[in-house]
Amino acid sequence: MKNPKIPLRRALLGAIAGASLLAAMPAAMAQAWPTKPVRIVIGAPAGGTSDVLARMLADGMQKAWGQPVIVDAKPGGAGTIGVNDLMQSPADGHTLYLAVNAAVTEIPHVIKVRYDPFKDLKPLVDLGQCGLVFVGNASLPAKNVAEVISYVKANPGKVSYASYSAGTISHTMGLGLNKAAGIDMTHVPYKGSPPALQDVMGGHVALMFDGPATALPMLKGGRLKAFAVSGPKRNPALPNVPTFAEQGYPMIDDVAMMILWIRPDVPADVQAKVRDTALKVMAQPAAKAKLLEFGFDQGGGATPEELSEALRKAYDKQGATLRALGVKPQDLGS
């Protein structure tokens, strides 16, 4: 007579084995991924800071994964074309997006975007951070923030400052200084840093809040002078330039973060693998040196959850400032 417990025991053992196999599948999938070339999309033209850092990251990832990692520039639309490319790609982790935090903290306030900045994008790694540099024409009779403020007050309604685009922190930091110091600098928006810097150096505009990557060559060449940097500490590439906080204006504290983003619906094990590899690449001496060259401080200390929280705070702050000015999101064609 057959033992009725044997089939039951076999069934239970089979179920346990099946469950163990299912539990092991995510780890196996992560080990097998990537199964095809990976793209790092950037929302800026080739040759800029995003492109250089993306290529450095791609080279390290390619060596680690044994698959081609391609940098794909999708400039235009203030970065929205690049974000939309990521949104339209499969949720398998083979498409990533590299851009500064403006993709979620600034752009949605000035452009009608087709993505939810906090539901459709997940920040994986903060690659590097930098404050903006408050620069001016080399002939301006000022050496620090206090002297700039005195100069503006002595020339009411005559001093202007440039930004690399309306609605960005390059714009709103000037508004913040106007309010904090009781001055009346006039904002002049440009389409990017290069034309704005040219006009500052040419004396057409007196001042500008700019990213260090584009301002540094002009500062080193003596074509501009720097008065302050934003953020909690001095820029490592400009150690002799004090922060706004050191000069009595701690409210001028905005920073730009270069972030690697992914679709949030990509499997968690794949997200973890991408993050781990990116952190290892950026910890290399060559990567640290390149960040310093562009005026960025080393990132990587925050978890994705902490990054999301910091970005939400920056988004709310930027939105409040722009709404107070009556700024509303516009269609790209308007």
The full set of domains in the chain, from first to last, is 36-129+256-324 (3.40.190.150), 133-247 (3.40.190.10)
Q: Are 125 and 275 in contact (CB under 8 A)?
A: yes
Q: Are 110 and 166 in contact (CB under 8 A)?
A: yes
* 202-206-210 Cα angle (round to 5): 90
At 330, phi and psi to the nearest 5? -115, 155
Q: What is the pLDDT of residue 324?
A: 84
At 163, phi and psi to the nearest 5? -130, 160
Q: What is the pLDDT of residue 248?
A: 97
Q: What is the pLDDT of residue 334?
A: 42
pTM of the model: 0.81
Residue type, 183: I
Is the link from the previous residue into 232 a cis peptide, with omega within 30 of 0?
no
Q: What is the pLDDT of residue 29?
A: 53
Q: What is the pLDDT of residue 198?
A: 95
Regions of the chain where pLDDT drops below 50? 1, 17, 21-25, 334
